[in-house]
Structure 1
Amino acid sequence: MEHTRRPRHGTPERHARTDGPATFTGRVLEVQRRTRDIAVIRVHCPEPIPFTVGQHIPIRSPLAPGIWRDYSPALPPNPEGLLEFHIRIVDGGAESRPLVAASHPGDEWTFGTPRGSLGDVLREYGTELDDDPAPGRHRLPEPDPRDILMIAGGTGLAPLRAILLEAADLPAPPKIHLVYGARTPGELYDLRTVIEMSRNLPNLTVTTAVEKRDDAPLTRPGPYSSHPAAPMPRLGVAADVAVRLHRDGGLSGKTVLIAGRGEMIEATREQLVAAGADPRFIHHDPVAKTTTSREAGRADLD
């Protein structure tokens, strides 16, 4: 998932962000072209970047000088300093096209300060109960944790996948339903990974949603867009599918995480609230104010 920030005229590249200069560097290890427009790029940072799942990190590459792009890692923080980014060519491709089309192992990337708090929802699930309280103390009954509904549009899958992996290590992982949406089946570029995750994580259920059953001739899907155990994708926008599956009062008790382009987030949030979701428990990155409509959720799945 990408956010692009251009430096103002006369502003040095390193100060394109308001939260200080970049402080980390890394080298590209692997570039996987998952479709014509989507690449998965893995990077190694000798000094691991201190971030939390769900955050986005500003990236500067020599392939697009003068431009910082914010991308969300698809892996949780790890001592090895390994990062994975899911990048799609968007908005004409002036910023994202060089990364997708021309990145190679050995390229050096520069990183700025992470920001965002999408993964903070895991805090309420992260405390292990004391089954043997000290004498004179009693453990009060804990309220049942809310199940989590995740709605991913296109490469918005990346931050949600990192949150899923982090949640798997919790003492009592919440039940999670991931609705993963794309325009066509071939654009479900990481389907193999999420299906394998669902087979190994009993708390995870995966549903896929596509707007069209047939791929465009130039989609060029790779092997990660399919899995023999994958269910048939539901037809419709991810938000429509999520509402249909939880229409019987199930949304009001869910914590909802949404990730995708800004227009998709706004349209999805509006639709969920109208269907009964509690807006206090709907989480996503801040988005600029735009005209919200159901049509916005259809085209902006990046």
Structure 2
Amino acid sequence: MIDADRLKKNWSLVAAHGDQVPLYFYSTLFLTHPETRDLFPMNMAAQRDKLVNALGAVVSNVDTIDAVVPTLQALGRDHRKFGALRGHYPAVGEALVATLEHFSGPHWTPAIAADWVAAYELVAATMADAADAAAHYTPPWWDAEVIGHERRDLETAVITLAPGTRLDYLPGQSVSLCTSLRPRVWRQYSPANAPRPDGTIELHVRSIDGGEVSTALVSLLRVGDTLRVGPATGSGLTLRPGSGPVALIAGGTGVAPLKALVEQLAAAPRPTSLYWGTRSPAGMYCVDQLNALAARYEWLEFVPCVDEDMWGSGVRIGSPAELAVSHGRCIGADIYLCGPFGMVESSRKILVGAGVRSEAIYFEPSGA
């Protein structure tokens, strides 16, 4: 039987070594199994700590593994886009155990080693089984043509894709993108529309400092280019069943998946308020689209708001969460949050402080 407490203590000990842990892990993996190098981007700076930290966190919590089986299965299906096969999992496991042993020093024992191996094999089998099953009914990725690329401002572009075959997703989910401009680097984006009859997908992309993919998508991508699109993932922002009011609170390009929820709600309307916050009116790159939706649907209220309005444009000043609370749109509503990590966290605190039940607040956990 696996001793989960012992694994957690051991992982805490190892993780205290910080950046040395992923450096050792990847060095070991690529030296002992050089065939795995092609699974990773050429520039490892953004990737370096992700895999090993995720493995350590998930595997050391093997006592709660049943609760995350659906997530592991989704990860297994999603990882096919990297070219990850069942045969790669043992190589990763060997490198992980070697890394744990190295940083555990005198605390490493045969019992701890056996626990890690058993726990990793359980996680790996769950992911690999899901990947193998998915291979029978869905491709690992879709090639999609860029049929629209509109720069809304210096940092933001609205991109329209036409996948070669229909991509199934739920409003609020994310898809991952890879461009030949940045080979083997994948980033998550949420469609800004509910599924359409023609299968086209609208994406809102804002370039960020140091963002390889976002910068390429905004500044270098052209109509006619091809992107690789991975399977849809995530459930934090998918619409829950019900008939009560809905409050949508967004920051920046976080409005994209909430716009998709509005389109979904059009099939079964509920009283809905959409509060969208940006730093200034200049950042409201899709305000005309959202105003048009509010004009079309009598059940939809749209409230744009900004941190500052130096030019007196008349937009409400304040955070979207604060305004939604002050307008009485949150108590008794299902609330969906999307935006930068800091905005989501501060909004949650505002809502809970105003008496909103935490169970009624939905968002996609950071890093999901």
> Which of the five TM-score ranges fits, normalised by the shorter chain?
0.7 to 0.9
User: Retained in 2: the 8 A contact 1:48–1:78?
Assistant: no
- Residues 1-302 of structure 1: matches in 2 within 5 Å? 10-13=37-40, 18=76, 19=78, 20-21=80-81, 22-124=140-242, 145-170=243-268, 173-214=269-310, 232-246=314-328, 251-287=330-366
Q: Structure 1, residues 146-205: CA drift from partner, whole Å, max 9, x if none?
A: 2111001000010000110011012xx100000011000010110000001000101000
Q: Letter of the aligned partner of 2:320 in structure 1?
A: A
CA distance in 2, matches of 1:254, 1:11: 47
- What is the CA distance between 1:23 and its match in structure 2? 2.0
Q: Letter of the aligned partner of 1:86 in structure 2?
A: H
Deviates more, 1:200-209 or 1:84-93: 84-93
User: Retained in 1: the 8 A contact 2:171–2:239?
Assistant: no
Q: Which residue of 2 aligns with 1:135?
A: none
Q: Tell me the TM-score normalized by structure 1.
A: 0.75
Instruction: Point out the structure with the larger helix share.
Output: 2
Q: Letter of the aligned partner of 1:115 in structure 2?
A: T
User: Retained in 2: the 8 A contact 1:59–1:71?
Assistant: yes
CA RMSD of aligned residues (A): 2.3
- What is the CA distance between 1:92 and its match in structure 2? 3.0
Q: Tell me the TM-score normalized by structure 2.
A: 0.62
Identity %: 29
CA distance in 2, matches of 1:123, 1:244: 26
- What is the CA distance between 1:89 and its match in structure 2? 0.9
CA distance in 1, matches of 2:199, 2:302: 28
Q: Letter of the aligned partner of 1:111 in structure 2?
A: V
Larger radius of gyration: 2
**Secondary structure of residue in 2 paired with 1:253:** coil
Alignment length (residue pairs): 242
Query: Greater relative contact order: 1 or 2 (C-alpha under 8 angstroms, separation 6 or more)?
Result: 1
- What is the CA distance between 1:13 and its match in structure 2? 4.7
User: Retained in 1: the 8 A contact 2:171–2:257?
Assistant: yes
Q: Letter of the aligned partner of 2:172 in structure 1?
A: G
User: Retained in 2: the 8 A contact 1:52–1:119?
Assistant: no
- What is the CA distance between 1:245 and its match in structure 2? 1.8
Cα separation, partners in 2 of 1:193 and 1:37, compared to 1, 3 Å: same
Cα separation, partners in 2 of 1:30 and 1:121, compared to 1, 3 Å: closer
Instruction: Point out the structure with the larger strand share.
Output: 1
User: Retained in 2: the 8 A contact 1:27–1:44?
Assistant: yes
User: Retained in 2: the 8 A contact 1:74–1:159?
Assistant: yes
User: Retained in 2: the 8 A contact 1:177–1:207?
Assistant: yes
CA distance in 2, matches of 1:77, 1:121: 14
Q: Letter of the aligned partner of 1:57 in structure 2?
A: V
Q: Letter of the aligned partner of 1:207 in structure 2?
A: V
User: Retained in 2: the 8 A contact 1:185–1:214?
Assistant: no
Q: Structure 1, residues 111-142: CA drift from partner, whole Å, max 9, x if none?
A: 11211124533433xxxxxxxxxxxxxxxxxx
- What is the CA distance between 1:237 and its match in structure 2? 2.0
CA distance in 2, matches of 1:112, 1:184: 33
CA distance in 2, matches of 1:288, 1:85: 19
Q: Letter of the aligned partner of 2:151 in structure 1?
A: R
Q: Letter of the aligned partner of 1:273 in structure 2?
A: V
Q: Which residue of 1 aligns with 2:122?
A: none
Unmatched tracts of structure 2, length 5 or more: 1-25, 31-36, 42-50, 52-74, 82-139
